[in-house]
Chains A and B, each alone.
Chain A
Amino acid sequence: MTWVNRTFNTWQNSLTIASASDLFIKIVYLVLIWSTVKLLFIGNVVWGDDYFILLSDPFTGPDRFAMLLNIPEVRSYYLLFALPFLGLIVAGLFGFHNVLTRSVVWFLFINLHFGNGSVSTGGHHLIQQLLFFHIFLFQVNDKKSSYLSSLGRFIHHLAHYSIWLQIAILYLVSGVWKLKGDLWLDGSAMFLTLSFKEFGFPWLANTINENTFFLQLLTWAVLAYQVLFIVLVWIKPIRKWVLLFGAIFHISIIFLIGITDFGLFMIASYSIFINNDLADDILRKLNPKRVIGVSA
């Protein structure tokens, strides 16, 4: 039996990554709850009538449904997008989700995301893609035996690894475009970025007077990480070290550069790489019944 046939059979017979997918959905939803709630406090400016961004409504036909909040008359009803979205992801956090709710979450996120391009980051673009794939994370019990169940398990595996690939594509695209410039290759990109108080802190911008070897090394390390991630992440023995580097990088983006959404979305997306056994362990420990001490 070839490797391909073996994989096809395994992916149809049992859901070997069910807990990893489940944990991924919960962590992404948790970060989305934070992001949505903080924006709801200024919702009327972000999505509603008090906007001062430039709206863009270039599409006709079905595509217009992705940009509904760019239609001024629709913005008065932004809560009809934001609140159901919030409700569905809160319910999803507690395990109440299915293919329909996940599809609606993707659709509403697209509208909320495109409803204000100014607050968008690469993390938002990534999450939009990951939420598309999460639609196909069908929860099919291993004990269910039917052609439909086998199909569900097979597609779940494909969607799960598509999320891996999509994260890797983000880094590849970002890295390759950086290679087309000058400053990442000559090691001064980080120096220039941190010289702006807007991408750090005033004290930091005023302190860094010249490009140190440390800043150059940091610039090249980030570039190498982004270009090589698509290869390195598939190599099991080094995966956790690769992800650890990435997590530290994204945490520093949160606290140093200050692009919090991007950093948190990226760290949340890393949860898809958590080993299924570990994910299972984490989910059992976080089980609400266990947390509040109710016996099952």
Chain B
Amino acid sequence: MPVQNSSSYRLPPAILWIIILGFSLHFFSVLGYQFGNEVLPKKLNVIIDRYSVPWFYQNYYMFAPDPTYHINSFIYRVETDSGWSDWQEPGLEELNRHWQNRFGNSSDMYDMFYGLSNALFDGIIFVNFIDNPTDENWFSLPAHNAAERYIKKNSTYADAEILSFQVGVKTEHHFFDNELHIQKKEVFQKYPIKTIQR
């Protein structure tokens, strides 16, 4: 029996076109997810969202449409038997390490602090929209809970007997002046002091 070479085993074009259609539909949904909101029918957008999120979710918006004008930093202090500590900025310690070694995990630690800072910043805006906010409004924020987790489990005071603590956000805002130079302004916003119940 003669040996058949691979060219003898050609698939019917219809099958190949069906496979290509599958890949094309995938890319249609990828592009539709990124650009489709304003141009595609709403029902189609819903289907595309359903297909894309979470398995094919992609976010390429860093520095877009514009780079950020402000950076938030997470700050905290704790009260122990020896009194209140100074304000601590753990993200800055990680940044210092990252400037010395770009290939370590300090940037990842910094990114986590940065995410926490932004959540705390958003939390301040959220609570400020509540009429006569109570301490409970502040302390029930997911960002405050996450900050408390850090202070109790990861911070340099994790092993100390913490009586109370306070978190805050330092925001460095950059803006262009009339001569197109960049000017800097810093705002420090504090959450209320939380006493640890014993």
Q: A: which residues have CB within 8 A of B?
A: 5, 8-9, 12-14, 34, 38-39, 41-42, 45-46, 50-54, 59, 63, 66-67, 110, 114, 116-122, 125-126, 128-129, 132, 142-147, 149-151, 154-155, 158, 162, 165-166, 169-170, 173-174, 176-184, 188-189, 191-193, 195-199, 201-202, 209-211, 254-255, 258-262
Find chain B residues with CB under 8 A from A162 CB: 23, 26-27
Find chain B residues with CB under 8 A from A261 CB: 107
Find chain A residues with CB under 8 A from B181 CB: 209-210
For the complex, give the distance between the alpha carbons of A50 and B67 in Å: 31
CB <8 Å contact, A189 and B66: yes
Given known A-B contacts A52-B116, A196-B71, A182 and B66 have beta carbons under 8 A apart? yes
Find chain B residues with CB under 8 A from A181 CB: 64-66
Find chain B residues with CB under 8 A from A258 CB: 98-99, 102, 107
From DSSP, what is the main secondary structure of chain A's interface residues?
A: helix
CB <8 Å contact, B182 and A150: no
CB <8 Å contact, B154 and A50: yes
CB <8 Å contact, A46 and B108: yes
CB distance from B4 to the nearest CB of A (A): 6
CB distance from B12 to the nearest CB of A (A): 10
Which residue of the partner chain, among B6, B55, B114, contacts A144 with CB atoms under 8 Å?
B6
Find chain A residues with CB under 8 A from B110 CB: 198
For the complex, give the distance between the alpha carbons of A117 and B108 in Å: 11
CB <8 Å contact, B154 and A195: no
Find chain B residues with CB under 8 A from A209 CB: 181
Q: Judge if B150 is at the interface, Cβ distance under 8 Å.
A: yes
CB distance from A133 to the nearest CB of B (A): 9
Find chain A residues with CB under 8 A from B156 CB: none
3 shortest interchain CB distances as A-B pairs: A181-B65, A118-B115, A52-B150
For the complex, give the distance between the alpha carbons of A53 and B154 in Å: 12
Identify which of residues 76-106 in chain B touch chain A, using a CB-to-CB cut-off of 8 Å.
95, 98-99, 102-105
Find chain B residues with CB under 8 A from A126 CB: 58, 60
Find chain B residues with CB under 8 A from A202 CB: 99
For the complex, give the distance between the alpha carbons of A128 and B154 in Å: 30
| Most interface-central of A52, A151, A191 (chain B CB within 10 A) | A52
